[in-house]
Structure 1
């Protein structure tokens, strides 16, 4: 049986999630739910501790980096507990140099924590800062078994090729399969680098109101690009996910 795969979502931001955990876990979706700050790591672990299909990632979102920089020490203190790391990365949408510097300092501190650690799976934000994000990641994970997923990648094709050459993976969502830039990225990606995500609840709109709706739309789009049946696309993503997990053992 192949599951749906959601390598990047924010389940802790779902309304009523504390009473809806069992329902989310019962879905046929292998899920990585990310945290935006280290302060949320322990509460999320508690919420999802009994789950079979949901794993919690330890993160510090780049858009919160300047305000939450002191929390890096909290992250480093529990780093060894976490198999999954995210949401982390860089965001180039701010023109404030102090903000960009804080992001880079935080990101480097987090990546430095990878040293001497058991293999981790990272889900990484790179909006507007793809080249810099990829360079930092390449230096941090070269020669290790750490696995990198570039979440909702929107960089250029040169950056994409660099990331592919570095062995990175890419998680795509239903917004990408319908946008011009997203479609160009999907066309350029080797199939064995493609995973799926929802980034829910931020991507919910119109008739996309659940993670399954989102993933089905994404797989339908991938099937069109790959000229295959939807079930074949689903199986391909499932196999890619399995290979990633095995590589990080």
Structure 2
């Protein structure tokens, strides 16, 4: 004869099952190791735990990458990406290579890396930026790590460079290209991410509707500041549910369906 389960214990079992199956939210691109967050980090990590949010924490340079690694060591909710941002292309590339080689088993990915003519003042700057990008791509390829790519005003150049690499898990963060470039990104198998501007930017809403649903990720790119309904506040990881909600409305899904899809997509990007 089977043992009877009391209503109280049945309730507890149900809660435990729900908690075990709860969907995780992901911020696919945030600079959590930025100095802007230092004073609030303890609170931010508690928010992440409470809301079930994990963060792909990207880095700017060698020093910032060290902070990212420390943060990831302190919390398993922080997924460390290290690299050299195109703004910091003059940083010590050899030191970054050493850092990647010494820590590759602990890394979730390489980033933020890429191209951006905004930070180019002469031909040598452009060459250096491209060299850094290509070198770090090669290390992503070597260690089979996903890469988080900055491609502002440089998408076509990024596409051209990426044809030489077998990196299968590449994210074009904060996608801001044309419909034609979006189709190219989908053809090349890239992931693309959309941020809090999705709440109010019609052009981004259109792009989301045209994106392969299996390639959509969401991000904040914090501590970038946002206008309009965000009142120029720095991006916070707690904005992620709002971005998910907007994406769900655009794609005609429930919030839970969208969150589940994004969790699956992010795990695919991370190679999990």
Per the TM superposition, whether the score is higher than 0.5 is yes
2:81 paired with 1:57:
yes
In the superposition, the TM-score normalised over structure 1's length comes to 0.86
Q: Structure 1 residues 2, 155: CA separation in 2 closer, same or farther (over 3 Å shift)? A: same
Unaligned runs of 5+ in 2: 1-21
Q: Structure 1 residues 217, 24: CA separation in 2 closer, same or farther (over 3 Å shift)? A: closer
The structural deviation recorded for 1:92 is 3.0
The structural deviation recorded for 1:208 is 6.1
| Number of positions where the alignment pairs a residue of Structure 1 with one of Structure 2 | 240
The structural deviation recorded for 1:173 is 0.8
1:36 counterpart (53, 60, 71): 60
Q: Structure 1 residues 94, 35: CA separation in 2 closer, same or farther (over 3 Å shift)? A: closer
Which secondary structure does the structure 1 equivalent of 2:27 belong to?
Answer: strand
Which secondary structure does the structure 2 equivalent of 1:2 belong to?
Answer: coil
RMSD: 2.3
CA deviation string 1:204-238 (max 9, x = no partner): 54286663542122112111210122221111111
1:46 counterpart (55, 58, 70): 70
Alpha carbons 1:11, 1:17 under 8 Å: kept = no
Distance 1:166 1:179 in 2: 26
1:171 counterpart (177, 193, 211): 193
2:129 paired with 1:103:
yes
Unaligned runs of 5+ in 1: none
In the superposition, the TM-score normalised over structure 2's length comes to 0.80
Alpha carbons 1:130, 1:155 under 8 Å: kept = yes
Alpha carbons 2:172, 2:192 under 8 Å: kept = yes
